[in-house]
Amino acid sequence: MDAPHETALQLLARKLNLHHRLSEVHQHAILALPHKIRRLEAHSYILREGDRPDRCAVLLQGYAVRHKSTGDGSRQILAINIPGEALDFQNLFLEEADHNVQMLSRGVVADVSREAIEALIATHSEIGRAILITTLIEASIFREWVVNVGQRDSRTRIAHLLCEFAYRLNAQELNTDGFYELPITQEQLADATGLTSVHVNRVLQALQRDGLIERDRRMIRFPSWERMQDVADFNPRYLHTADLAP
């Protein structure tokens, strides 16, 4: 396949290294992690609320979402994960999963057992620290989502989500020439922003009319990153990543 097994965990190493510099030794330890490659269909679940996971999946190709439902059946998307991100640290160290993790597209993950990760941390405390830092950053992103959904109007809200996604793709060097794919439907975008898909559609059209975004299918481009960032009230501080604006 496009991603040879040899490079499977390099993505993870790069991601961890992004936030907390790791020595060669530590990076090699990550690359030596025993793991199993698994191919997944679109919409398949990696983890369900209530599960007691004993392994951690690292996303290699494709996109995934975390989500959670309320008693009346409505669904909130909590995060969109991109290649290179670990999908279950959140759940691996807690008794049971408090949310679902589901593939958006078809994709590939590398499964690493809980024991392997625990051994890695026990041997390399710096890696434990890198994981803690990654976890703290994810918490920071959730905080920003609370702000986004709690305080911003629909236009700013959607623009903010688009900015965050573009920025994170860029940090993982996954976007090309300004255009990037937003791998989700308007319905899902609605679930992520606490709006309805009808309203999301109208807001996207308005952003387009105002020349803030260009759309082709699910590809999106910002004619002016600065203007978009401004409309979105987007300040990347909460991502705790060296500035890598598109």
Partner DNA sequence: CGTACGTTTGATCTTTCTCAATAATGGTGG
Partner DNA sequence: CCACCATTATTGAGAAAGATCAAACGTACG
Q: What does the binding site for a second copy look like in residue numbers (CB under 8 A)?
A: 49-50, 66, 68, 70-72, 74-76, 78, 89-90, 93-96, 98-99, 121-122, 125, 128-129, 131-133, 135-140, 142-147, 149-152, 156, 193-194, 233, 237-238, 240
Complex with a second copy: residue 35 or 157, whichever CB lies closer:
157
Residue 221 binding: pick among a second copy, DNA, none (C-beta 5-8 Å cut-off by kind): none
Give the H/E segment covering residue 17.
helix 10-19
> In angstroms, rounded to a whole number, what is the distance separating the alpha carbons of residues 29 and 23?
10
Q: Which residue reads 């109208």 in tokens?
A: 202
Residue 204 touching DNA (CB under 7 A):
yes
Binding mask 176-195 for DNA (x = CB under 7 A): ---------xxx------xx
The neighbour count for residue 71, using CB atoms within 10 Å, is 5
- Distances from the Cα of 211 to the Cα of 18, 181, 202, 222, angstroms: 33, 18, 14, 8
Least distance in Å: CB of 217 to DNA? 4
Count the site residues for DNA by CB under 7 A: 20
Q: Which of 202, 221, 225, 240 binds DNA (CB under 7 A)?
A: 202
Q: Is 147 in the site for DNA (CB under 7 A)?
A: no
Regarding 69 and contact with DNA (CB under 7 A), the answer is no
Minimum Å distance from CB 65 to DNA? 12
| By CB under 7 A, residue 218 contacts DNA | yes
Sign of CA dihedral 231, 237, 241, 242: positive
Backbone angles phi, psi at 140, to 5 degrees: -65, -40
Interatomic CA distance for residues 45 and 88, integer angstroms: 12
CB of 42 to DNA, least distance (A): 9
- By C-beta, is 59 or 231 nearer to a second copy? 231
17 makes contact with DNA (CB under 7 A): no
Which H or E run includes 180?
strand 180-181
The answer to whether residues 231 and 159 touch, using CB atoms and an 8 Å cutoff, is: yes
Is residue 106 at the binding interface for DNA, with CB under 7 A as the rule? no
- State which of residues 32, 94, 136, 198 lies at the interface with DNA (CB under 7 A): 198
* CA-based max dimension of the chain: 55
The Cα-based distances of 33 to 7, 23, 28, 116, 193 in angstroms read 12, 16, 9, 7, 36
Q: Which residue, 106 or 155, has its beta carbon nearer to a second copy?
A: 155
Where does this chain bind DNA (CB under 7 A)?
153-155, 157, 185-187, 194-199, 201-202, 204-205, 215, 217-218
